[in-house]
Every structure is written in C-alpha cells, then in structure tokens.
Amino acid sequence: MIQAREKNFLLSLARKSIESHLNSQKIEKPNVPDALKEKKATFVSISKNQQLRGCIGRIHPLKPLYVDIIENAINAGFKDPRFKPLSKRELNDIKISISILSNTIPIAYAHAKDLIEQLSPGYGFTVSKNGYRAVYLPEVWGNFNSKEEFISSLCSKAGLERGIWRFGELEVRKFSVNTFSEN
C-alpha cells in the first residue's frame, strides 16, 4: 500500500515532469523511495475547471512506478490526441490525479445478463476483440445511468459495435484502482 508521503512524492513528480517538459528541460533524477520502483500500471489524469484536460496510462505494468508516472504525466499533458498540448499559462489551473492499477482479472461470462451482473462501479474495465481495445477507469461510472450504457460506451470507445458485449465474444477484464489527487 502506498503511504501518504509516497503519494505526495508521485504527485509532485508528475507536476515537475509537466513543468520540465513545458520549459524544455530535462527532469532531474529524483531520489526515489524503494516502494515506488516496483513495476505498476498507472494513469495520470489532468483536469482544468473540473473538466478532463488529458488522461494517458497503461493497463499492464511495464515500467517502475515512478517512471510510468513521469511518462504518463508528460503524455497526458502534451500527447492526448483529444486535447491541445498544455500551455504555460494553464499550469496553475490544472489538477493532477494519479491512478495505480491492480493486475487485470478476466471476466468469464456465458451471456449478456451474466456479464452485466459482474460489472460493478468501483472497478475499472477493459474490453478487447480482434486487436481493438479500450479501458475505463472507475471514475467514468459517474457518466452513465446503467451498466448496459457503461459497457456499450466502452465497446464504442474500442471501435467495436456498441452491443457486441451481448453475444459473449468479447474479452472483458476488471481491475481495482488506488486514485489520489492534488488538493
């Protein structure tokens, strides 16, 4: 479990990474606590005026936690294709959130009702089929009125037909998330 001091370290590291990128500077190599060197999957989300401004991450642990945070902070700020890159004047108006993901767990389901019963707010989910893939973090649940609407939207995000989940041909995985944000 990540302690408060480590969470603050990661949030500060994410902000410093964004600032360094904005100023075309290299990030100073931080003195990293050992607990943050373990490989973990993370997402970094940036909001401005309580609206999403960028969100990038990985669902599989490929790099040490602190390295993933540095890369995802820069990518969320400057490479999320849904948004323009952050500008210097926006820096004081953004809020950074970090999500550390558990390993994903496959969901076996025989039919649509079976899948719907296994969907649960509080968990993130991935869907994939034939190379198409998408992920929703648990925070996204608040945008939907039903589990059916949630999974249909996730399929659409992946570039699949909205109702493909009804036919049992979809790989669905769930994960838990430890999310924390700047004040």
- 20 and 84 co-located in one domain: yes
Residue 27: what pLDDT?
82
Q: What's the average model confidence in pLDDT over 42-66?
A: 95
Question: 36: domain CATH number?
Answer: 3.30.700.20
- 69 and 128 co-located in one domain: no
Longest alpha-carbon distance in the chain = 53
Instruction: Please name the amino acid found at residue 111.
Output: H
- 112 and 85 co-located in one domain: no
**64 in a structural domain:** yes
Q: What's the average model confidence in pLDDT over 11-27?
A: 93
d(CA 142, CA 167): 25
- 76 and 158 co-located in one domain: no
- pLDDT for residue 112 is more than 80: yes
Question: 158: domain CATH number?
Answer: 3.30.1490.150
Is 0.85 surpassed by the pTM of this model? yes
- 156 and 118 co-located in one domain: yes
pLDDT grade for 89, boundaries at 50, 70 and 90:
very high
Number of H helices and number of E strands within the chain? 4, 8
**91 in a structural domain:** yes
124: containing domain: 105-176
- 27 and 78 co-located in one domain: yes
- 110 and 95 co-located in one domain: no
- 55 and 132 co-located in one domain: no
CA geometry: angle at 40 spanning 38 and 45, to 5°?
130
Q: How many residues does the chain have?
A: 183
DSSP state of 176: -
**181 in a structural domain:** no
d(CA 46, CA 112): 34
What are φ and ψ of residue 78, in 5° steps? Answer: -130, -10
- 112 and 37 co-located in one domain: no
Out of 58, 74, 101, a domain closes at 101
**182 in a structural domain:** no
CA distances from 40 to 52, 72, 122, 148 (A): 23, 12, 19, 30
Out of 58, 84, 101, a domain closes at 101
Long-range interactions of 50-53: CB distance < 8 A, separation 24+: 53/83, 53/86, 53/90, 53/94
Out of 51, 68, 101, a domain closes at 101
d(CA 150, CA 162): 10
Residue 113: what pLDDT?
95
- pLDDT for residue 1 is more than 80: no
Structural domains of the chain, count:
2
The CB density around residue 177, as the number of other CB atoms within 10 Å, is: 18
